[in-house]
Every structure is written in C-alpha cells, then in structure tokens.
Amino acid sequence: MKVRRDAPPMRLSPCLLFLLVFDAGAADSSACAGCHAGIWRQWRDTPMARSSGVAGEARIETFGKAAFSNARGTAQYSVSPKFTLRFAQAGVEGERALNYFLGAGNTGRSYLTSVDGFFFQAPVAYYRARAAWDLSPGYERAEEVNLARETGPGCLRCHVTGLRPVEGASNGFSAPPWRENGVGCERCHGGGEDHIRGNQSAIVNPAKLTGEARDSVCAQCHLPGAVEIAKAGNAPPYVPGARLSDSVAIFVLAGEDREANINGHFEQLSRSLCMRSSGGKLWCGTCHRVHATTSAKEKPAFYRQQCLACHAEKPCTAATSVRAAKGDDCVACHMTQRASETVQHAAVTDHRIPRLPRAPSRAAVNASLTPFGGEQADDRELGLAYASVALQENNRAWGLRAFELLRKESAANPRDAKVASSLAQLYDRMNRDEDACRLYETAVGLDPNAAAAKVNLAACRAKQGKVDEALALWSEVLKLNPSMETARLNYAVALFRTGRKNEAKASLNEALRFNPASRRARELLAGLQ
C-alpha cells in the first residue's frame, strides 16, 4: 500500500465508512442488524461498542475546565469545543486538530491526531470524574509539548474493528484507518460473511466454546500481560474460535509475593478460588452480558444471581444480619472497587473475589516472567520477552537473563530477524558496538521493514564513517516512517556534515511539521541559520 504524502489530515466520514463496509471481506456490525436487531440495538450502547470514534461525535466532554499547563507551568494547553488543541511553549505557539477519541469515557478519553495518515497520541486527555481536560497519563511531567508520540496497531488493536495499517509503517494507516468504531460483532464472533449468506453454523458462539478457546475471545483484549511475543514463523493472527496461545505468548510478572503484580481482570480472576475450583465453568461470560448494559440499580441483583448459580447450596458464612445491612449485595463485600481517576488499564473491581476485602499489593521487585495460564514458552519467546521488559525498564537482571537466552538462540537460529535485532539492542546497551552493528545488519538483511534495527544500523555506519550508506538507510526508514524524529534529526545532521545544508534544513522543517515544539529540531535549525 502506498502512503499519499499530500493527503490532508483525514477524518473518518460516515459515507466513507459505509462504502468500505465490506472491504477485506469482513462484515460490519450493521450487517448483522437485519436479523439480530435486538442484540444490535443493545450492543450499540455498550462501552465496548463506543470505545472509539471521531472526536466530537458521541460527546461526553465539557469545556468548562479546558485550559491547563504542565507541572512547572512551562507549557500551556487548551482545547476548544471544536476539538482543536492549542499549545504554547517558550515562544512557540500552534494548534492541532484532535481527530479521534479512544475510550467510551467511563473514566476518561484519550485522543489521536493525524498528519498525512500518521497517527499520534495527543498529550491531552479528558477526565470524566473531574469533568476536566488535562495532560495524558505519561505526559504529566513532560517539559516539552510533544505531538509526536507515535500510535500504532499496538495501541489501537483493542479499541477498533478492522484496523488498516500501512505495511512496514509503525504508525501509518489507510484512510479510513479502521472499518468500524469500537469492538464490533466480528471481534468476538469472527468473520460473518458465510453466516450472513445463510449458513447458520458458520459463526462462532463464544459460549459454546470451552477452555482456552472460549477464554481467548476476551483475552485477546483483556489480558495485556506484561509483554506479548508473537509466535515464530507463520503463526496465524488470532481469530475467534482459535486459541490465543497459538498466535502469541503472553507473559505476566510473578514475584516472590504471589499476590503482587496482578493488575488485570484475567490475572486476578485466575487467582480466585471460584475459578480455580469451578472445574473450568467460570469465565468472563459467566458474569458479563457483553451485548447489554446493566444499569447501576439492577447490578446487585444481577450479579447475585450469577453468584448463586454456584453458591446457593453452600451459602455465605457471614452473619445474615451483616449481609442484610448490605442488601445482600455479594459484590459489595467480595468484589470491592478501588478508586480510579486516571485513564488506565488496571482492574478497578477486585476480580480475585476474596473472602474479605484485600488491599491490592504493590509490585515485587525482582519479579520473573511466566507465561500466563500455565502455557509453555520456548527459550526464544522467553528471551525476547525479557529483552523487551529489560530495555523498557532498564533492568540489569532481566537484561542478563535475556542476553543468555538470546545468544544461544541466535547461534542456533541465525536467520531469526527478531532475535538478531533484540540481541543487538542488548549489545548496544553494553557498549559492544561491533557485535551490535553486525547483528543490526543481519536483522535488516532478513527483514527490510525492521525500522528500529535500520535506524541503529545507520548510526553504526555513520560512526564507521560510511555516511552515504547511513544516509541511504535513514532515508529508506523515513519514507515509511516520516515522523520518526530521532531518524529525522540524525539524517539532518549527517546531511549538513556532507555539505547538503538546504536538504538538512528541509529535513528539520519536516520534523517540525510533525512536532512543532520539538526543542532539538528548533535548536538544530537555529544552528544551521
């Protein structure tokens, strides 16, 4: 697929969506409405169905508190009712349209901006409880207005249906970037074309699946884990009905304190005595009706009914009078909620279903990675997983573990691009340039789309004095990833050093088009002038 460089910032228009409803051979949820009207109408109102869309549509936002600044007051922001973000920082002012939202808004919403079809997470978010706009999680302490936090499939995959990424680009998408807002029918039921044509059995009903295949339907989005590693070779992407572990290995953190680190609904539920003792009967769908919304008033009775399906015979041992005081609301005592004001992905409701409310414990320090649900992971997956968390968290112990595993793996399988690239990054951290550069070269040779490895290989070449080779590599990466700032700035500096001043300037201006307040780009540009 080609990226149109001259395309205006796009918006997902309803008519475009309609035209593309059947592209990629999948059916839009409205195609199910004709025969399942009742389910479709209820589903439309659920948070999952409303989990993404065009900013300004499906409004929950108010604009009474829409001007704010960062912690030290060095960057100012405001958002207008037309969803235009204005920013000012050290003499630089500008504005950018917020194009899309992520999140139905139970706790809040994040926003995406796009330039030429390349997507970024906006530095601002809307917080429901405070009815206020403020900095996004992770930006609170940022000194600089950063409009270039790249947003790719890794972020969007759980919030939309029919994502349309541009091959090889880390944050580029076709127009429109996805077929359908929110979690559509096909995300849980699989493709429905044959079913629509009259083959009633050609559709997945999650409730008729068992074990991992059933749990995978929800786990594809509700089990983020600590790190996820795609299976080697030509593992098929996950589709409902299959087992998630055939496509990816999901690792969670297990510490000495077994209660630590459990954040997500899946991890918590798997620790509950209910799940461990129910012989595979208890799953997400036991308590959650995903097509429908249950009102706050109906919830206590609704959930009690689910509990009593298993607990009617051996009832609660708390005194009846105590329970009566709580309206015999099982969940009020056994699945308590902790406050969450921020937009985040941790469970709010305690899915460990304990006898007595328990405070969530803090993360253990030297936690180790284990595959979720007792699955087996091979050394390649474990090595890649440790490398990923080690590089993110700058953790030496994990880095050593990764190094040991990946070095063996790389010797046994020298043609594995991911292994080569991860091991190269570990060597990089150890300042072993020669080994790092050799492996970056291997990775790029095996996978020409390996952007990160290519950027680093270019840096190797520049250091080795092979500037023309470096320039060629950076330029290749920038074609598919024009907003990659580090590559762009390095490219500009190298151009300047080889006497190509005007091209260097153009490259820096291009960086500023994506990220107008970039201090490094501005400083370099000032240096050229």
Q: Tell me if 431 contacts ligand HEC by CB under 6 A.
A: no
Quote the tokens at residue 56: 């300004």
CA dihedral 474, 475, 478, 484 (to 10 degrees): 30
Looking at the Cβ atoms of 25 and 233, the one nearer to ligand HEC is: 25
50 touches 182 (CB < 8 A): yes
Sign of CA dihedral 451, 455, 456, 458: positive
Looking at the Cβ atoms of 89 and 121, the one nearer to ligand HEC is: 121
Burial group, residue 222, by CB count within 10 angstroms (0-12, 13-18, 19+) = middle
Return the closest-CA partner of residue 219 out of 252, 191, 193: 252
Q: Tell me if 285 contacts ligand HEC by CB under 6 A.
A: yes
Q: Tell me if 145 contacts ligand HEC by CB under 6 A.
A: no
> Which 150-179 positions form the footprint of ligand HEC (CB under 6 A)?
155, 157-159
Looking at the Cβ atoms of 212 and 328, the one nearer to ligand HEC is: 328
Pick from 40, 398, 403, 514 the residue near ligand HEC by CB under 6 A: 40
* DSSP 8-state class, residue 234: S
Report which residue's Cβ sits closest to ligand HEC.
192
Pick from 17, 20, 43, 482 the residue near ligand HEC by CB under 6 A: 43
CA dihedral 429, 430, 435, 441 (to 10 degrees): 0
Pick from 19, 35, 71, 506 the residue near ligand HEC by CB under 6 A: 35
> Which 345-374 positions form the footprint of ligand HEC (CB under 6 A)?
345, 347-349, 351, 353-356
Pick from 284, 384, 406, 480 the residue near ligand HEC by CB under 6 A: 284
Minimum Å gap between C-beta 350 and ligand HEC is: 8
Q: Tell me if 424 contacts ligand HEC by CB under 6 A.
A: no
> Which 249-268 positions form the footprint of ligand HEC (CB under 6 A)?
265-266
Looking at the Cβ atoms of 29 and 421, the one nearer to ligand HEC is: 29
Return the closest-CA partner of residue 281 out of 315, 249, 314, 306: 306
Q: Tell me if 525 contacts ligand HEC by CB under 6 A.
A: no
Cβ atoms within 10 Å of 221's Cβ, excluding its own: 15
Stretch that binds ligand HEC, among 12-20, 183-191, 430-438, 441-449 (CB under 6 A): 183-191
Q: Tell me if 248 contacts ligand HEC by CB under 6 A.
A: no
Query: Token pair 């088009």 is at which residue?
Result: 513
Q: Is 134 helix (H, G, I), strand (E, B) or coil?
A: strand
Pick from 11, 21, 39, 239 the residue near ligand HEC by CB under 6 A: 39
Looking at the Cβ atoms of 30 and 475, the one nearer to ligand HEC is: 30
Number of residues that bind ligand HEC (CB under 6 A): 98
> Which 105-134 positions form the footprint of ligand HEC (CB under 6 A)?
105-110, 121
Looking at the Cβ atoms of 215 and 409, the one nearer to ligand HEC is: 215
Return the closest-CA partner of residue 515 out of 90, 67, 120, 112: 120
> Which 47-106 positions form the footprint of ligand HEC (CB under 6 A)?
47-48, 51, 102-106
Minimum Å gap between C-beta 467 and ligand HEC is: 36
Pick from 273, 301, 412, 472 the residue near ligand HEC by CB under 6 A: 273
Ordered strands of the 108-115 beta sheet: 52-54, 100-102, 108-115, 118-127, 132-135
Pick from 3, 31, 148, 248 the residue near ligand HEC by CB under 6 A: 31
Look at strands 248-254 and 368-371 and give their pairing.
antiparallel
Stretch that binds ligand HEC, among 43-51, 247-255, 405-413, 463-471 (CB under 6 A): 43-51
> Which 193-212 positions form the footprint of ligand HEC (CB under 6 A)?
195-196, 200, 203, 205-208
Cβ atoms within 10 Å of 526's Cβ, excluding its own: 9
Return the closest-CA partner of residue 52 out of 123, 135, 126, 156: 156
End-to-end CA distance of the chain: 38
Q: Tell me if 149 contacts ligand HEC by CB under 6 A.
A: no
Minimum Å gap between C-beta 339 and ligand HEC is: 11
Minimum Å gap between C-beta 186 and ligand HEC is: 6
> Which 311-330 positions form the footprint of ligand HEC (CB under 6 A)?
311, 314, 316-318, 322-323, 326, 328-330
Measured distance CA(204)–CA(213) in Å, rounded: 11
Looking at the Cβ atoms of 165 and 192, the one nearer to ligand HEC is: 192
Measured distance CA(385)–CA(491) in Å, rounded: 31
- Number of Cα atoms under 13 Å in the Cβ half of residue 384: 23
* CB contact set of 423 (below 8 Å; sequence gap of 6+): 387, 403, 406, 407, 410, 439
Pick from 303, 398, 427, 440 the residue near ligand HEC by CB under 6 A: 303
455 touches 477 (CB < 8 A): yes
Sign of CA dihedral 164, 170, 175, 180: positive
* CB contact set of 205 (below 8 Å; sequence gap of 6+): 189
